Amino acid sequence: MSAVSVELPLWKIGVCAIVAALIAYFVTPHVKTLAERLDAMDIPKDGRRIHDHPIPRMGGLAIYIGFVLSVILFVTPNKQVMGLLLGATIIVAMGILDDVICLSPWLKLGGQFLAAYTVIRCGVVFDTLSLYVGGVRTPVEIGFLSVPLTFLWIVMCTNAVNLIDGLDGLAAGVSTISSLSLLAVSLILPMTYLSAGVPLILACLSGSCIGFIPYNRNPAKIFMGDTGSQFLGFVLAVVSTMGLFKYHAIIAMLSLAFPLIDTVFAFLRRILHGQSPFHPDRGHIHHRLLDLGLSQKQVVAVLCGLSAILGLFAILIACTGRLRIVCLVAALIIFGIVLSIFGRNAKAHAAEHARDCVSEDGSESAP
C-alpha cells in the first residue's frame, strides 16, 4: 500500500479547499440577507433552543454554493459525480423549503429517499463491504442487500448531521473534521479502491464548511438550518460510499461515528418513550453536556475533539508505519485537551459551590 497517492497533486487539493472556502465565506452574507427577506428565521420558542433572539437560518445554501461551484471547477464530471450534485440539489431545495415554511418530518424523509434513489441510480452503491479479520482484508459480498443498505446509510447520515445541529458551530465543525479525516484516508488508500474525484470532492466540502464557520461560530450570525445540515450529512454519506466501504467499512463509520451514535440513541430514546422517532427533544449529547455546566463553546470544543479522535483512529487504520504513531500521539493530545476542559469546569463548579456555602453560613450567623 502506498503512503500517499501520487496520482493527485496535493496542491490541487489545497486549491480546491481554498476556492470553496472563499466562495462560501463571501456568499454567506448575501444568503443571510436572503434568509431575512424570506423570513427564514429561527425563533427561540422552546427549551431545546439555546439562543435568545431570532437568527436567520438557511446558511447551508452558502456551503452548497461553495461546494458545487468548486466541484464544477476542479472535479472531472462522471455519472457518479453528476448523481451526487443532483441528489445534493434535491436535499438543498427541500432544506430551503423547510427553513422557510417548516415541512413535516415524513415529507423531508421522502425527499431524502428521492435524493438517495438519484445517486443509487447513478451507480453510487456499495455492493462489497471490506472487514479486517486477523489483519487480513476480507471482502464481503452483500448481494441483494446492497441497495437497501445504501439507502439506509445515506438516509441515516443525512439525519445524523441534522440532529447534532443544535449549537453554534457544532454541525459545521464536526462535518469539517469528518470530511478532513475522510480526505486523509482517501489520500492514503490506493486509488483503485476509490471512485474518481473523491479526494477533490472532500476537499471542496471541507473548504466550504471552513468558509462558513466564521459566521456560524458562537455567537452565531446565521444558522445553516436544514439546508446545510442535511446537505452535509448527505454528501458525507455518498462520498464515503464511493469507495471507502469497499476498502474498510469501519473507516467510514468511525469518521461519522459521533453524529451516528447520537442519532441512534435519540431514535431509541423517543421510541421507548412512545414518541415518534422524529419528535424533537432535549436529550442529545450536546444538551446533556450543557446540563453538566459546560458553556456552548466548551461543548463544541469537546464534541469536535472527540470527533477528531475518532477521525484519527480512522486514519490510523488506513495508514502504516510512522504515520500511525503521529495519529496516536495527536489523538492522545486532543484527549488530554478534552479532559482539561472537564477539569476546569469541575474546578469552577467546586469554587461556586464553596462560595454558596460561605454565603449560606454568613446569612445564618447574621443577627
Domain ranges within the chain, ordered by starting residue:
10-281
Q: What angle do CA 224, 225, 227 make, to 5 degrees?
A: 90
What single letter denotes the amino acid at residue 262?
D
pTM of the model: 0.87
C-alpha pair distances (Å), 72 with each of 78, 258, 312, 323, 344: 11, 30, 29, 33, 46
pLDDT at 314: 87
Q: What is the pLDDT of residues 172-223, one digit of tens each?
A: 999 999 999 999 988 887 665 566 688 999 999 999 999 999 999 988 999 9
Omega of the bond leading into 219 within 30 degrees of 0 (cis): yes
What are 131's strand-pairing partners? 138
What is the mean predicted confidence (pLDDT) over 299-320?
Answer: 90
- Residue 353: per-residue pLDDT: 45
Determine the Cα–Cα distance for residues 328 and 332; give it in Å rounded to an integer: 6
In this predicted model, what pLDDT tens digit does every residue of 39-49 receive, in sequence order? 999 877 765 56
Angle between helices 225-241 and 60-74 (to 10 degrees): 40
pLDDT digit string, tens, across residues 49-73? 666 688 999 999 999 999 999 999 9
**pLDDT interval class at 113 (50, 70, 90):** very high
